[in-house]
Structure 1
Amino acid sequence: MSGRRRSRWLPNQHGAWAMLAVPFAAGTFLGGPRWSHLALLAAWLLGYLAAYHAQQWLRLRRLSRNPRAAARHARPALAFTAALAATGLPLAVYEPWLLLAAAAAVPFVAVNTYFARRNRERDLLNGLAAVVPACGMLLVALRLGGGSVAEGWRPALACLLYFGGTVPYVKTMIRERNSRTYYRASVAFHAAALVLATLLSPWLALPFALYLTRATVLPGRGLKVGVVGAVELVCSALLLATLLGTF
């Protein structure tokens, strides 16, 4: 697949990929990897891709005067939806409780769809809504491996604190880099997250202190988008390593 064609099928959202991968990987290895995790991972990624293209189709169908703009998302949406059905339905037959997990994500996907259709995908609430089901996948992957919610709620909440914090933080680095309101809110969120994460486990104090430091120090320094993304990849990897080493 050429780079141009790949970009039409795969979203260029590096932060989203980290958010999809880290909670899933944490839940998988905390619960114990199984072959069924491969099918779950495929269904998880296919579901994200199908929803992304369906939302873009709705957004562009409403806003663009060029019918081809929306149409280019129709084919990937249908293809990923079909692949999701082929992958997810057999898994759901084998593990019927996964249907309840999928149903729990529906309200958050509905929020994202609403904001996409209104062309407000950068809205703070939209970003926070996307974080919840992504972090909830830690519990799903953990349960599939034989774990329980009692074992998984603390690492899942740690993921929620980190990825929830990335939403206002990234805005202070790019779209809202001149907003003191966003900066103060981001720092306040990270300070509160440090306290809560430390209560979950003292070992989480180190990464969350680092997250607070980067939210305090880096905004306003004119870092390029690629550098901001690289920093978040390192922060995500640190979170995963800490979760696996702690829980």
Structure 2
Amino acid sequence: MTATATRPARKRRGAQGWMPNQHGAWAMVTVPWLLGFVLALRDGGDIASGLMLLACWLTGYFAFFATSQWLRSRLKPRYLPAVATYAIATVVLGLGALALRPQWWTWAAVFAPLVGTSLWLAWRRAERSLRSGAATVAAASLLPLVLGSDALWPWTVAPALLGVALVCFAYFFGTVLYVKTLIRKRGSPGWVVASVVWHVGCVLGTYFLPEAMPRGLLAGFFVVMALRALVVPGLGPLRGRNVTAAAAGIGEFVATGALVAVLLCS
């Protein structure tokens, strides 16, 4: 089969909800789990439940994407095979995770409203809104807390894992704001100001992180992110120069790698 023949097939899979098309979301989906998994193992956590949670989380992401597309399309039947397949797989893997850590079911009280909010916004065709971004980032950022605890209540978690969850939310929500200044809201001074203010707030917020966290390094990291939030749109979209999605993606890859290095190597 030729390359030109495979491209339409890939488009059909994407158009039917089988393959998520938001490539920038993969870091948000995987990095909080990775950080939480490594730190939980350091504190005596077990590998099997962590890997089972990852499998459930990834299939859940695919199910979420397919369901969002289905709702956004006003329930067009072409999305139903992907919705049903991924939903069933998520339930099966979720039961497997609960078999290993039964008390994890209590976290549904937090995840359900966040996922429900995002799906409702997809129905309203506002899946790329700031509210939707906040809900999905919050859900992903909870993973270190899940990995480091037996239940939502009574809740006990290592301070470092709590710090990682807070840092993940701060960084990835900042990414939502920053990318909007380059793509969907490019050329808008108000969005640039919001992005810069958020990142400056993250710099100040590192002072309140648990002592187990590398607060100095994280403050330096967020200083760089604040400068990026100001300089890149200031020299790019605000001056009429577009920043391509590929260039923005490369920048996010580098920044995310730096954050992972700060948190795991310090």
Give the alignment's TM-score, normalised by structure 2: 0.83
- Across the aligned residues of Structure 1 and Structure 2, the Cα RMSD in angstroms comes to 1.9
Taking a change above 3 Å as real, the CA distance of residues 38 and 149 of structure 1, as seen in their structure-2 partners, is same
1:1-247 to 2 correspondences below 5 Å: 3-4=10-11, 6-7=13-14, 8-32=17-41, 34-61=47-74, 70-143=76-149, 148-200=157-209, 201-220=215-234, 221=236, 222-246=242-266
User: What are the superposed Cα offsets for residues 9-58 of structure 1, whole Å, 9 maximum, x if unpaired?
Assistant: 12111221100111100000011161322211110011111122112111
Preserved CA contact (<8 Å) 1:198 1:204: no
Task: Give the Cα–Cα distance (whole angstroms) in 1 for the partners of residues 248 and 13 of structure 2.
Answer: 23
**Partner residue in 2 for 1:65:** none
Q: Given residue 25 of structure 1, which amino acid in structure 2 is its aligned partner? A: L
Task: Give the Cα–Cα distance (whole angstroms) in 2 for the partners of residues 61 and 47 of structure 1.
Answer: 21
After TM superposition, the structure 1 stretch with the greater mean CA deviation from structure 2, 118-127 or 29-38, is 29-38
Task: Give the Cα–Cα distance (whole angstroms) in 1 for the partners of residues 186 and 78 of structure 2.
Answer: 33
Task: Give the Cα–Cα distance (whole angstroms) in 2 for the partners of residues 39 and 109 of structure 1.
Answer: 20
Q: Given residue 3 of structure 1, which amino acid in structure 2 is its aligned partner? A: R
After TM superposition, the structure 1 stretch with the greater mean CA deviation from structure 2, 15-24 or 215-224, is 215-224
User: What are the superposed Cα offsets for residues 47-99 of structure 1, whole Å, 9 maximum, x if unpaired?
Assistant: 1111221121111026xxxxxxx222211110011111221112212211211
Give the alignment's TM-score, normalised by structure 1: 0.89
1:114 Cα deviation after fit: 1.2
1:5 Cα deviation after fit: 5.0
Task: Give the Cα–Cα distance (whole angstroms) in 2 for the partners of residues 242 and 10 of structure 1.
Answer: 31
> Using CA pairs below 8 Å that are at least 6 residues apart, which structure has the higher relative contact order?
1
Identity %: 37
Matched residue count: 237
Task: Give the Cα–Cα distance (whole angstroms) in 2 for the partners of residues 198 and 192 of structure 1.
Answer: 11
* Unaligned ranges ≥5, structure 1: 63-69
1:167 Cα deviation after fit: 1.4
Which structure: larger Rg?
Answer: 2
- Partner SS, residue 73 of structure 2: helix
* Unaligned ranges ≥5, structure 2: 1-5, 151-155, 210-214, 237-241
